[in-house]
Structure 1
Amino acid sequence: MTIELNTVSYLLLTAIFSAASFIAIQNGKHPDVHPSVLNKQSDYATLRYPGESAIIKSNAFPNGAPQLTTRDRPIKTLSELYQVALNKHKGKRFAGARDSTKKSVIWQSYDGAYEKTQHIYSGLIYKAKLEASTKKESSFVGIYASNSPDTFWTEMACHWGGLVTVPIAAQATSSHIVHVIRDTKLTTLVIDETHLEYVLHLVEGTSVNHIIALGEDANYKEQENYFGLSITSFSQLQKLGKEHPMDRSETSTSDSIASIYYSTNSHKVILDVNDPEDGKSLGVVLTHKVGYIYKLKHNVLIFAIGILSISSYLAEINILYITTDNVLGYVLQAMTCFVGGSIGFEDKVLPNEFNLDVPSVLSAIKEVKPTIYASGGPFLKQVQKLILGKYGNSFLFQRGLERKDRYHKEGKLVSDCKYDMLVFRYIRQQLFGGHIRMLYLDNDDVPKVDMGSFYRSVLGAQVLKTFSCPETSSSMMTTVVFDYALEKRVVGPPLPSVRVKLVDKKEEGYTAEDSPNPRGEIHVAGSTVFVGYWNNPLATVEAIDPDGWFSTGIIGELLPNGSILLLESSK
C-alpha cells in the first residue's frame, strides 16, 4: 500500500517536526550561555602589590580600556539627566501607586512631571527660604518618608535645582532621625502625612522649622500654632511654587553635593558613647559628578549605567521595595526615568511599622504587575518563609524545586516546564503579578538559604544579587546574568565603573597568599566611590586612602572566575 502526501500534509508534518525539534532544543542539555563566559567574569591586572590580591575589573572593559564613566557625554549632572529624560519621554506612563483604598493603581505620565518638579523646587525655595548650590546646610532637604511618586518627585526637584537631599527611611528609629537632623542641622523636613504627629514631637528643640506633609490636603493651623513650626501640604507647596517661580540654580556643577545618605546599610558607624551597641551612621556625601575617570572621585549615575550594561529591562515596569535611604533604589529610579520606563511604588509605611504585613505588600506588587522587582534580602526572606509555609509541604512544589535546581546546575533558566504549569505559575501570578523577568536581591548578608536559586525556580526569572553600600553609590558588585549555579555567598564581579582588590587581614587569618584562593578585606576604587563623610574628615581619611581605595571592612575571597565570595565582616 502506498501513501500519497499532498502539500498540506507535508506542511503539517514539517510543522510537527519543527515544534518537536524546538522543544527538544529548549529542553536539551546545552546551557543558556557558553561556560567560557562564566569562567572569566573579571579582567585581572598583570601586576599586584605585596599583601594584596590582583586588581580586578569588569571584563566588559579589559586592561588598557578606560573604565565606564558616562553613557551620555553631554550629561554632567543629575539636573541635566532629568531635563533630558522628562522632555524626551512625554506621553509615556511614568510613576504609579495604589490609591488610599488600595483597590486600584493610579498612573501618572511624564507629561506633567517636568512642570511638577519646577513647582516643587520653587515652593521649597520660596516657603522654606532654602538656598541652592551652597554646599551648606541652607540647601539641605530632609526626606523622612516611604518610597512613593511624591518622594521621587521631591528628590528630582531638589537635584534639578541644586538642593541637597538627606533621605531617612520611613522605618527609621527616633534616635536615628534625631541624629541625622542634628548632624546636618536640617531646617526643612518632607514627611509622609501619616508621620506628622510623631514627627512634631520628635523635632521639638531641633533645627527643623519647616515641615512638608505628603498626603491629602489639610489645614495645619492648630499644629503650627502649638508647635511653632511651618507646616505645608504637598499640594499647597506646589501651588506656592507655581505662583512664585524660581529660576534653577545655574551654579550647580558636577562637584555639587547631590545627597547625604545616613543609611543603616553603611559599613561605617560612630559608636554612641552612651550606648556602644547603638551605632550612628556617618553621612555619606554623594555628588552630581559625571565625566571621564581621571576627573572623577564619585558620581551617582555611573552605577546605574553599569546596570544598563547588564540589563535592557529598565524600559518596562519597575517596582521597588527598598527604603528611601538606600541609594540603590534611587539609582534604579533615576535610570528608569532616563530610559523612559515606568516605576511602580508599593504602599506607604506607617511610623514605627517595623513588622510589615507581607501579604499586603505582595498585594500591591500583584496590582502593579512589574517586570523588574528590586528588594532587600530581609523582606525577600519573609516572602520566602510565607511561600514555604503555604506550599512547602506540597509534593509537586518540592519536586519542582529539585528539578529546577538541576536545570540551574546545567546552566539553564527554565520557566515553562511541567512544574511551572502545575505549581509555580500560580504562585507568581497570585503573589507577584506574573510578569517579573528580573529580580534584584540587594545585600543578602551571607545567607544560610540560597534565595537566588529559590526565586529563580519560583519566578522563572533572572535573579541578580547586588553587594551594596552608600559609600560606593550603592552596588559595587553584581552577579552575572546566566550564572545560575553560583555558590550562595558569591556576590559577583565588579560593576564596570569600579576596580576591586583584596588586602591582607593577617590578624584575622586572611591573606592574598591563601590557598586555594586569595582572601582579605574588600577594597574598592573607581568613579563611584564617595567623596567623604559629612563633617567628619577623620573618618574620611580612615576610609579612603590617598590613591582613592575605599576599605569596606568586609572580608571576601577572590574566585578563579573573577567573582567575589563573601566570608565574614572584620568588625
Structure 2
Amino acid sequence: MPVELNTLSYLLLTSIFSAASAVAIKNGRHSDVHPLVLNSQGSFSSLRYAGESAIIKSKMYTHSTLFSNNQTIRTLSQLYEVAFLKHKTNTFILSGQTVCSRYGKWFIEINSVHILWPSCHWGGLVTIPIAAQATSSHLLHVIRNTSLTVLVIDASHLDFALHLIEASTVKHLIVLGHHPQEQREYFGIRVSSFDYLKKVGLEALIETSDQTSSDTMASIYYSSNPKNNIILDNKDNQNALGVVLTHQNMISALSSYAAHLPASHRITSKDRFMHGFAIDNVLGYILGILCTFMGATLSFEDKIPYNDFHLNVENVLSTIKGFRPTIYASGAPFLKQVRILIANKYGNSFIYQRGLKRKDRYHREGRLVSDCIYDMLVFRDIRQRMFGGNIRLLLIDDDQNMSDDASFYRAILGAQVLKTFSRAETTSGMTATSVYDYTSDKRLIGPPLPVMEIKLSDHEEYTAEDLPNPRGEIQVRGHNVFAGYWNDDKDTLLDVVHPDGWFITDMIGELLPNGSFRLLKSK
C-alpha cells in the first residue's frame, strides 16, 4: 500500500536530513586546518654559520606590524591616544565593582593600580612595577638600585611600606584605595591619597605634550620571579637586574602577538581579557595593551594581597567566574593547581576520564571539538563553575616543567590553547605555539613570534649537526630585545647580548622541520 506524504511531512523530513548532514559535516573527521599550514610554521634562512642552525623567522615576519595603517604610532602614548579615541564609548576596565569607560578623563576615574601604567606611559613617565608578592629584600633592592623617589602602593601595604622605606630615597608615597587622610608626613616621607592627587589635578589641569620617541625608556622590570628574567648568581632575586624596555620594545612585542593570531581568532571589542600574572611580569601588560588597542575590556581584581605566597585557587577561580573573560593568560604553576583541583572533584568520574580520552583522539585528528556528548555531560559544567564559561583563548606562559597542561585545558575548555615562551629581556615574547596546532608534544614551544629571529648555537653535547634535528642554545634577535640593564656596566650586557643583537636565553632547544622549537632544558 503506497504511503502518501503531504507538504508538511516533506518539510519535516527535509529539515531532519539537513540537520543530520550539517552535524555530520561539522563533526566529520577532517582537521581544522590544512596539514600544510602546520608543516610550515617558520621560514628558514638559506645560509648558516658553522656551529649554528639556520636562522628561523615567523611566516608573518614581514607583516608583523600592528600599525600598518597607523605609521605615526611609535610610542605607547601615541597608541593610547589612537585607541581611546577609536573606542571611546567602550568599557575599558572592570575592576571589582568599578566600571571605567574610555570616554573623557578616564585616567582619573578609578582607584586601581592597573590604570596607572597606561596613565604614566601616556604622559611619558617611566614605570618600575613591583609585585605585591615581592619580598622586602627585593623591594629594597629595586629602590636602592633606581634611587626611587615616588612609590605607589595599595592601602593594605601602607604600614609595611612606611617601616621599610624609612631611610630610603623615597620621598612621596601615593596610596590607592581607602585612606583616612588626604595628605600627611612620616619621617620626611609625604603620604598622599590617590583621591587627593585627583582633586589637585582637576584644580590645575595642564596641557601635556608628548616628548617621547621610540627609543625612550618606558619601563624597568625587576622580576621577583627568578624565571622571568636573568639573575646574575641564579640563587636569589636580591641581585635581579633591572631590564630596561623602550617604547619600541613594547610596540614591537604587542604587534608580534597581534600578528601571530590568525584573522579567525583576532582580539575584538567583544572580548574581555584577564590574566593571572604578577604586575612585574611584562607579558600581562603587553597583552593588556594589545586588548586595549583592539577595543576589548580588561578585568582585574581590586584586592592586592601582600606577601600572599599561599594562593587560594578557589578564590581566584571565583573572580574569574564573576568576570567571565573570553581570553585568559596565566603562568603554568597556577593552571597546574587548577588542574589538581579539577582532578580532585571530577577525577573519579568514568565519564570525565572517558571524555579526556575522546578529546585526545579528536586532537590527534587535528580537530578542536567543544560540543560532543562529554562536553554536555561534564566539561561544560567545569567551564561554567571555574572559568565562567566564555573562554575562547587561553595562553600558558613559560611551562618549563614541560607538562601536558595545554592538551588538558584544550579538552576541558574546548578552546584554543597557546603556550608562550618569554623573558623580560625580550619584552615578553620569543615563541608561541600556533592556533590549530593540537600536538600533544609536552616540550613544544612553537615557532618564532613575528618580530623575532631565532637560531641555535652549539653548546656542550648539543650541536647544530645533531640528528634527526639541530639542537643547541636558543638565541633570539628582534626589535623587542631589551635596551640593557639599568645602572649596570656594559660587561654584564655583553654576557647575554652579542654585539650583533643576539640575546642568549640560557635555554637549550631543538629545531623541528616545520620551523617550530622544542624546549629541552635550562642550562
1:326 matches 2:281: yes
Secondary structure of 1:475's counterpart equals: coil
Q: Deviations over 1:417-438 (max 9, x none)?
A: 1111110101110111011101
Q: Which residue of 2 aligns with 1:462?
A: 416
Q: Deviations over 1:489-516 (max 9, x none)?
A: 111000111110001102xx11101111
After TM superposition, list the pairs within 5 Å mapping 1:7-406 onto structure 2. 7-61=7-61, 65=62, 68=65, 70-71=67-68, 72-98=70-96, 105-112=97-104, 115-117=105-107, 150-219=112-181, 224-263=184-223, 264=225, 265-271=227-233, 277=236, 280-289=239-248, 299-309=249-259, 310=261, 311-315=265-269, 316-406=271-361
Change (3 A) 1:458 1:163: same
Structure 1 residue 277 displacement after superposition? 4.8
Structure 1 residue 70 displacement after superposition? 4.2
**Structure 2 residue identity aligned to 1:363:** S
In 1, Cα distance between the equivalents of 2:152 and 2:254? 26
- The answer to whether the Cα contact below 8 Å between 1:377 and 1:443 also exists between their aligned partners in 2 is yes
Q: Which residue of 2 aligns with 1:142?
A: none
Structure 1 residue 270 displacement after superposition? 2.8
In 1, Cα distance between the equivalents of 2:74 and 2:59? 25
- The answer to whether the Cα contact below 8 Å between 1:440 and 1:464 also exists between their aligned partners in 2 is yes
Q: Deviations over 1:207-226 (max 9, x none)?
A: 111111111242166xx444
**Structure 1 residue identity aligned to 2:204:** H
- The answer to whether the Cα contact below 8 Å between 2:131 and 2:278 also exists between their aligned partners in 1 is yes
Secondary structure of 1:440's counterpart equals: strand
Secondary structure of 1:300's counterpart equals: helix
In 2, Cα distance between the equivalents of 1:382 and 1:149? 30
**Structure 2 residue identity aligned to 1:543:** V
Change (3 A) 1:17 1:499: same
In 1, Cα distance between the equivalents of 2:186 and 2:257? 48
**Structure 1 residue identity aligned to 2:484:** G
- The answer to whether the Cα contact below 8 Å between 1:262 and 1:325 also exists between their aligned partners in 2 is yes
Secondary structure of 1:541's counterpart equals: helix
In 2, Cα distance between the equivalents of 1:277 and 1:368? 35
In 2, Cα distance between the equivalents of 1:277 and 1:271? 7
1:531 matches 2:483: yes
Structure 1 residue 249 displacement after superposition? 4.0
1:420 matches 2:375: yes
Q: Deviations over 1:520-545 (max 9, x none)?
A: 11111111111111122221122211
Among 463, 476, 497, the alignment partner of 1:511 is: 463
State the superposition RMSD in angstroms: 1.8
**Structure 1 residue identity aligned to 2:212:** S
In 1, Cα distance between the equivalents of 2:240 and 2:6? 78
Secondary structure of 1:206's counterpart equals: coil
Structure 2 gaps of 5+ residues are none
In 2, Cα distance between the equivalents of 1:416 and 1:278? 46
TM-score (norm 1): 0.87
In 2, Cα distance between the equivalents of 1:184 and 1:277? 19
Q: Deviations over 1:468-497 (max 9, x none)?
A: 111111021110001112411111000111
Secondary structure of 1:166's counterpart equals: coil
How many residue pairs get matched? 514
Q: Deviations over 1:117-158 (max 9, x none)?
A: 3x59xxxxxxxxxxxxxxxxxxxxxxxxxxx97223211111
Structure 1 residue 11 displacement after superposition? 2.4
**Structure 2 residue identity aligned to 1:564:** F
Q: Deviations over 1:281-312 (max 9, x none)?
A: 111111112xxxxxxxxx20222222222041
Q: Deviations over 1:373-422 (max 9, x none)?
A: 11111111111111111111111111111111111111111111111111
Among 441, 444, 459, the alignment partner of 1:490 is: 444
Secondary structure of 1:344's counterpart equals: strand
Structure 1 residue 466 displacement after superposition? 0.6
Secondary structure of 1:164's counterpart equals: coil
**Structure 1 residue identity aligned to 2:79:** L
After TM superposition, list the pairs within 5 Å mapping 1:425-444 onto structure 2. 425-444=380-399
Change (3 A) 1:393 1:227: farther
In 2, Cα distance between the equivalents of 1:524 and 1:246? 43
- The answer to whether the Cα contact below 8 Å between 1:372 and 1:436 also exists between their aligned partners in 2 is yes
In 2, Cα distance between the equivalents of 1:360 and 1:69? 36
- The answer to whether the Cα contact below 8 Å between 1:314 and 1:339 also exists between their aligned partners in 2 is yes
Secondary structure of 1:251's counterpart equals: coil
TM-score (norm 2): 0.95
In 2, Cα distance between the equivalents of 1:314 and 1:486? 29
The percentage of counterpart residues that share the same residue type is 53
Secondary structure of 2:127's counterpart equals: strand
Change (3 A) 1:361 1:149: farther
Q: Which residue of 2 aligns with 1:136?
A: none
Structure 1 residue 446 displacement after superposition? 3.0
Q: Which residue of 2 aligns with 1:126?
A: none
Among 457, 470, 474, the alignment partner of 2:428 is: 474
- The answer to whether the Cα contact below 8 Å between 2:254 and 2:286 also exists between their aligned partners in 1 is yes
Structure 1 residue 555 displacement after superposition? 0.7
**Structure 2 residue identity aligned to 1:81:** L
Change (3 A) 1:26 1:172: same
Q: Deviations over 1:235-278 (max 9, x none)?
A: 11111112222332442211110001112344421339xxx555
